[in-house]
Each structure stands twice: as C-alpha cells, then as structure tokens.
Amino acid sequence: MSIAENIARIREEMNAAAIAAGRKPEDILLCAATKMNDSEKVRQAIAAGVDCCGENRVQELTAKLADNAYQGAPVHFIGHLQTNKVKQVVGKVDLIQSVDSQRLLDAINREALRQGICQDVLLEVNIGQEESKSGFSKDELPEILEKMGDYPNIRVRGLMAIPPICENSTKNRKFFQEMWQLTVDIRAKKYDNVWVDILSMGMSDDYAEAIACGSTMIRVGTAIFGKRNYP
Ligand SMILES: *Cc1c(COP(=O)(O)O)cnc(C)c1O
C-alpha cells in the first residue's frame, strides 16, 4: 500500500470513529509522525493531506526544514527535547507537543522572549506513571498550570500523552478517559497563558479508541509509512 492509500484508509477510520462517538470528523487532526522517514516520504504524506507533521529528533527536524520537506505544512515537535537544543526548535515549529519539565518551560520561554514570539506548546502527561516515560504527573499539573502566568512567551494549548501499551482496549480507554477529564478540569479553571483546545493522543494501534475518548489530534507513524527500520 502506498502512503496515500494508507492515509486515505486512516481518514476513513478516523471519520467512522468520530461519527460513532457523535463527534465532527473535522475536529480531529492527523499528525504524521515522520521520524526516520526521509523528505520524499514526508512530501508524499503532505500531498496526501495529513494536517501536520511531528518530528522526534532535533537533528532530523533541522535537516528536513533545510530540505523544504514540509512544504509549508505545520510542523510539530513530539520527541523529548533537551534544554540545550531549544534554540533549534522554538520559532521553527508551530507546536512543541512534548514539554515535560519546568526546566524546559524556562528554556523555551527564554528563547521565545529573545526571538520576540509566543511559542505554542502542549504539556506532556505521564498518564501511566511509567518510569521509562517523561511528562508531568497528573498531580503536578495544577501547580505547573498556576505557574504559567510567569511564562508570557508561552501559550499552553493543551495536553499530550503516550499511555502504556495495554493488553486490552478497556484498560487503554481508562487512560484516554483520564486525559480527557484533565482537559475538562483545566478548562473549568482560569489559568494565565493557558488555552486548552488540543488533546493529542492516539497512535497507529489505538487511534480509533483515542478518538472515541475525545482526542483532537492523533499522531500516526507506522500506519502511514510502514514499519520503521531502526539501525
Ligand atoms: C513514533 C511516535 C508516534 C507514532 O507511533 P506509531 O505507533 O508508529 O504510529 C506517536 N507519537 C510519538 C511521540 C512518537 O514518537
């Protein structure tokens, strides 16, 4: 199957999942997770109508930007970002989805201030409380959101999560539902520099479930590009 065929099939499944959940298909965006796929494949995905691309590594992002891989389509950063690399990402991407520490918020704000811009971000939540994953814990969120008033050059647009791999869809749903509830709770309060309209969750194996639970953005790699070849 070609990249375009894969995307067409995913769109159909996205639409079906949205309608089954009483939601509007246009309220859910498809972010192509492009890690380890070259500029040519990225261009094919954009031509086939993905809404945006998400990169994991700074080096790949920089190379593909130089190569005009994204053709003006929105680009997001979705991988772990080290504070010493924010200069290469802030102002270069439309959204940093993977903000996972206060130190990183400090560094992003400093760089955005220097550039005279406001950087949109999502806060990553370690919803399964896994040692191996980064992100804020559920309990840390209110405190960090209160502090967002100190970051005038950052706007929090929502939350992102990579839930644990679950052996069944009931367990999976529990994490997705918890994430959705967090966005509801945040919207019910008034935090400065916080405007929550994005809930980024769902990947190749579970995006239909994530949409059923309120995801507004799915990040899909394998189902678009095929299996990645790790060196
Ligand atoms: C790779 C990646 C994805 C996509 O994963 P697939 O299972 O290949 O769809 C989504 N989100 C993040 C943060 C990723 O690194």
Model confidence pLDDT, tens digit, residues 129-145? 999 999 999 999 999 99
Name which residue sits closest to atom 7 of ligand 1, judged by CA: 204
Helices (H), 48-193: 58-66, 102-115, 141-147, 169-188
Closest CA to 220 of 49, 21, 69: 49
Give the chain's domains with CATH numbers: 3-224 (3.20.20.10)
Q: How far is the CA of 219 from the centre of ligand 1 (A)?
A: 6
Which residues are within 8 A (CB) of 171 and not within 5 positions of it... i.e. 6 or more apart?
none
Atom of ligand 1 nearest to the CA of 219: 10
pTM summary value? 0.97
To test the pocket of ligand 1, the residue of 77, 160, 219 to mutate (highest count of ligand atoms within 8 Å of its CB) is: 219
Model confidence pLDDT, tens digit, residues 60-108? 999 999 999 999 999 999 999 999 999 999 999 999 999 999 999 999 9
Computed over every residue of the chain, the mean pLDDT equals 96
pLDDT band at 231 (very low <50, low <70, confident <90, very high): low
Distance separating alpha carbons of residues 75 and 108, to the nearest angstrom: 17
Name which residue sits closest to atom 13 of ligand 1, judged by CA: 78
Distance separating alpha carbons of residues 42 and 227, to the nearest angstrom: 15
State mean pLDDT over 34-42: 97
Name which residue sits closest to atom 12 of ligand 1, judged by CA: 78
